[in-house]
Amino acid sequence: MSASTAVLRAELRLFLREPFSLFWIVAFPTVLLTILGLVPPFREPDPELGGLRVIDLYVPVNVLVAMLMAGVQTLPPVLSGYRERGILRRMSTTPVRPLSLLTAQIALHFAAVLGSALLVVAAGRIVFDVALPGHLPGYLVALLLGALSALAMGAVVTAVSPTIKATMVVGSVVFFPMMFFTGVWIPVQTMPDLMRTIVEYSPFGAASQALHQAAGGAWPDVVHLGVIAAWAAVLIAAAVRWFRWE
């Protein structure tokens, strides 16, 4: 077994011992969708939405909530904890590189996001009769790019925060505006034109639109995918530039 595989297995065991993190990533988005679906008007077709229901719009939104939870709320404290306790520094003196540990954490959080997305889509379909994504390849591309942006954003939060407490503060400061951009309080598709145009140039506003378009059966707009990819590239570059092992 390679060193990287051993690290991944060890991190998986530790990851599964964090029920609160797993709840917020995997279960909370589905719980939130269920609560929203209990609002009667949200289950009624809206002529202003082209016959769609508000609950139809909230399925992609809650997929994005899972990304935010993983990338901005749960991943940064783990990475900051490893750095603050000197684990990364000590690993640098062994054959196992700190990058192996970071890669394992990112892979585990990414897998949790995918599991959460599957659960949200399934709950929407089974409980509220929300149609399955009409353009599955486009939906997956938007989901993968959105998750990459969220995890890269979490890496930046870790990079600019010297301690675990600072990471939690910075993560919260980033988290709540991003919740607005995903459309949690107001679905992006129902925002006024000017506000929607502005929001669409954020990573999660663009991801919300891309997922919505793919759910409706169309390939996501190239502009929206380009915005998500550009944000991911910028955030990854910033994380690489600013991250410190100790």
| pLDDT of 100 strictly over 70 | yes
Q: Which domain holds residue 30?
A: 3-242
pTM, two decimals, is: 0.90
Tell me what the mean pLDDT of segment 228-233 comes to.
95
pLDDT at residue 1, as a whole number: 55
| Rg of the chain on CA atoms, in Å | 18
Q: What is the pLDDT of residues 116-158, one digit of tens each?
A: 999 999 999 999 999 999 999 999 999 999 999 999 999 899 9
Query: What is the rounded CA–CA span in Å between residue 127 and residue 34?
Result: 8
pLDDT at residue 71, as a whole number: 92
| pLDDT of 239 strictly over 80 | yes
Query: What is the rounded CA–CA span in Å between residue 164 and residue 108?
Result: 20
pLDDT at residue 114, as a whole number: 94
| pLDDT of 74 strictly over 80 | yes
Report the number of distinct structural domains present in the chain.
Answer: 1
48: confidence class by pLDDT, cuts 50, 70, 90: confident
Task: Name the percent of the chain lying above pLDDT 70.
Answer: 99
pLDDT at residue 140, as a whole number: 95
Mean pLDDT of the chain: 89
Task: Name the percent of the chain lying above pLDDT 90.
Answer: 57
| pLDDT of 64 strictly over 90 | yes
Q: Provide the residue type at 71 as one letter.
A: G
pLDDT at residue 205, as a whole number: 92
Q: What is the pLDDT of residues 10-36, one digit of tens each?
A: 888 988 888 888 999 999 999 999 999
pLDDT at residue 221, as a whole number: 94
